Amino acid sequence: MAVTAMATYTNPELYLASVLIVGLAFAVVNVPSVSTWAGFGSALSDWLSDPMRLKWFNITMAVLLVASLWPMLK
């Protein structure tokens, strides 16, 4: 994704400025996304410390993964 963004959105005449703008756009999107992901992971790790919850969570995630692939398998 980063290579495509650099190839598509950078201007050879203003290379440094355009690279910095693309990098800034990635940072603006990445920081809140990763922070949210990490926050939910921390909260979920306490809840999933129970082996029975972890088992059912893994089963649910496996079923959702297979369900998401089902349209491609048809």
Residue 44 has a pLDDT of: 93
Which sign, positive or negative, has the C-alpha torsion 33, 37, 40, 46? negative
**C-alpha R_g of the chain:** 20
One-letter amino acid identity for 50?
Answer: D
Q: Write the DSSP assignment of 24-38 as a string of letters.
A: HHHHHHHHHHHHHHH
Task: Report CA 74 to chain centroid distance, whole Å.
Answer: 26
Residue 62 has a pLDDT of: 97
Per-10-residue mean pLDDT, the chain, length 74: 90 92 94 95 93 97 95 84
Task: Report CA 24 to chain centroid distance, whole Å.
Answer: 17
Report the C-alpha gap between 39 and 61 in whole angstroms. Answer: 19
pTM: 0.58
